Amino acid sequence: MRVVFLGPPGSGKGTQATLLARRLNVPAISTGDMLRLAVSQGTPLGVKAASVMAAGRLVPDDVMIGMIRDRIAMPDAREGFVLDGFPRTVEQALALEGMLEGNGRGVSAVLNLSVPEPAVLDRLAGRSAEEGRSDDGRATVLERLRVYHEQTEPLIGFYRQRGLLADVDGVGEVPEISERIDRALEGRARGVA
């Protein structure tokens, strides 16, 4: 199974992607984690990404597409994967389709975690205090939300038109949301969106 998570920053994509990947026994692939690791290690990608991320902007498509192409080609992703943080633009979604077409398999489902913006802001403020993430400062968060609405939100319609999207209420306790995700995937398997 090849699952993509969508949702605004702070919607719980990372947490739920990790949990779902464990249940499906496939890798959770988080572009945010990959980029933060590259930044902390000072790799060429990390140096390039650091200033972009600190400003709340998206890392350029060519960098992200290359990074994902390499990652999903690894042996542990052959039977599937759960993507968190990619695609973030329609161009990236089209590139992902192209990558997957070559092996005769496409995206199985796209889960859109719906969380109201005030709840997102509260979650990110808490995460910033707990984890000290530089991309969770208030000004950066507001810019990330603006970029999400402008560049990533169009993916909801893109994947809905392809019959792949399932909207999931992302408010509640982690186990409740996980149950909703499982029900959404079961519904997709039965052909019910």
Q: What is the pLDDT of residue 20?
A: 98
Burial 153-172 (b: 16+ CB within 10 A, else e): eebbebbeeeebbbbbebee
Look up tokens 């005769």; give the residue. Answer: 104
Q: What is the pLDDT of residue 34?
A: 86
Cβ-contact 13, 113 below 8 angstroms: yes
Please list the pLDDT of the chain residue by residue as tens digits (193 residues): 999 999 999 899 999 999 999 999 999 999 888 888 888 888 887 888 888 877 777 788 888 888 888 889 899 999 999 999 899 999 999 999 999 986 667 999 999 999 999 999 888 888 777 877 666 677 888 888 999 999 999 999 999 999 999 999 999 999 999 999 999 999 877 765 5
162 as an active site residue: the answer is: no
Q: What is the pLDDT of residue 66?
A: 86
188 as an active site residue: the answer is: no
Per annotation, catalytic residue among 2, 36, 123, 144: 144
Per annotation, catalytic residue among 57, 71, 127, 160: 127
Which fold would CATH assign to domain 2-189? Rossmann fold (3.40.50)
Per annotation, catalytic residue among 2, 36, 88, 188: 88
Strand 2-6, strand 81-84: pairing: parallel
Per annotation, catalytic residue among 13, 36, 180, 188: 13
180 as an active site residue: the answer is: no
144 as an active site residue: the answer is: yes
Q: In DSSP terms, which residues pair with 27 in a beta bridge? A: none
Q: What is the pLDDT of residue 35?
A: 85
127 as an active site residue: the answer is: yes
